[in-house]
Amino acid sequence: MNSMKTSFDQIVDVQDIASGKSDKIPAMLALAREEKVEPAALDAKRTLLLAIDVQNDFMESIGSLAVKGSKGDVQRLTQWMYRNLGSLTQVMCSLDCHSMMQIFHADWWVDAAGNHPEPFTIIRYADVRDGLWHVANGHTALALDYLQQLESAGKKQLCIWPYHCLEGTWGAQLESQFTNMLYFHSAVRKVKPILVYKGQDPYTEMYGIIKAEYDDNKFVNHAVLEAIRAYDAIYIAGEASSHCVLASALQILEYFEHDRSITSRITLLIDCMSPIAGFEEQTILQFDGLKEKYGIQLKLSTEVNL
């Protein structure tokens, strides 16, 4: 039972979700000081929320790569966090973080006439080999190798995304009302949220929180994996379910595939995430496949009480 003095509405203004308005952290901290909840360090059962890319650029109506349904996702996620604040040990947030000149942004590519590709253009290995698209910065060999590696491994095709989550911009920031709840939780439970930046390598895409689609260095974020290992229950939410949430879940599950005691701890809060348009049915099928293969749970946030 939630016995906090502070009401949900004092922390989150539902009308301000995905509105572009700023957070109100000082007010959150003042309210948190009035609460008498045990510190997270004393939790007997350790629970983790992994919030994937709850950033302005993925919010409907305001973001450059808006995900339809994201406003409702944030409302339901913050309500779940509020209801379970006394039992939610830690929150880990992934943050997409890009530069303008990256392989999935238009500035990287030009056609024979010097035009950059439109958003959502698919670029294949054969397109570059045959001269349909050229690498604007001269790194043609690297780009060809990357595209070939994607195709040979059966990865997603290279998509030119709208410029999004550019480092240091408003679009890369966490959505304001989620931020209010994140730091209210942090202050009440006396625990620092974990922020994980991803997607800064200009030569690759990084949908998942653990590793890129392909990179020569074969980087794996072991710090995140070891953090996940330390929790008794892991809940995943965020944007977009079809891409970054799915990729993050899959990478975690593949890493722990031989340890069902860990994979069975993972629950996807399926009403706190939405897919990119056109990927709805495919995403549901893939989530069902993860449930069958790894023993994860797919639940509504209203079905989960910590």
Indicate the angle between helix axes 25-32 and 176-189, nearest 10 degrees.
Answer: 30
**Token pair belonging to 250:** 């899959």
- Where are the chain's structural domains? 41-99+174-303, 106-159
pLDDT tens digits for 5-57?
999 999 999 999 999 899 999 999 999 999 999 999 999 999 999 999 999 99
Three-state DSSP at 75 gives: helix
The answer to whether the CB of 193 falls within 8 A of the CB of 91 is yes
- Residue linked to tokens 């209210």: 184
pLDDT tens digits for 116-153?
999 999 999 999 999 999 999 888 999 999 999 999 98
pLDDT tens digits for 82-92?
999 999 999 99
Query: In CATH, which of 3.40.50.850, 3.10.20.340, 3.30.70.360, 3.40.50.150 is domain 41-99+174-303?
Result: 3.40.50.850
Asked if the model's pLDDT at residue 216 lies above 90, the reply is no
pLDDT at position 189? 97
pLDDT at position 135? 95
Asked if the model's pLDDT at residue 1 lies above 80, the reply is no
Asked if the model's pLDDT at residue 283 lies above 70, the reply is yes
pLDDT at position 139? 86
What is the separation of C-alpha 239 from the centre of its chain, rounded to a whole number of angstroms? 5
Tell me the percentage of the chain whose pLDDT exceeds 70.
99
pLDDT at position 164? 97
| SS3 letters across 127-192 | HHHCCCCEECCCCHHHHHHHHHHHHHCCCCCEECCCCCCECCCHHHCECHHHHHHHHHHHHHHCCC
pLDDT tens digits for 239-265?
999 999 999 999 999 999 999 999 999
DSSP state letters, 218-268: ----HHHHHHHHT-SEEEEEEE-IIIIIHHHHHHHHHHTTT-HHHHTTEEE
Q: Which residues pair with 48 in a beta bridge?
A: 90, 234
Buried b (16+ CB within 10 A) or exposed e, 176-190: bbbbbbbbbbbbbbe
The answer to whether the CB of 35 falls within 8 A of the CB of 76 is no
The answer to whether the CB of 212 falls within 8 A of the CB of 205 is yes
Backbone angles phi, psi at 298, to 5 degrees: -115, 115
Asked if the model's pLDDT at residue 301 lies above 80, the reply is yes
pLDDT at position 2? 65
Structure confidence at residue 217 as a pLDDT band (50, 70, 90): confident
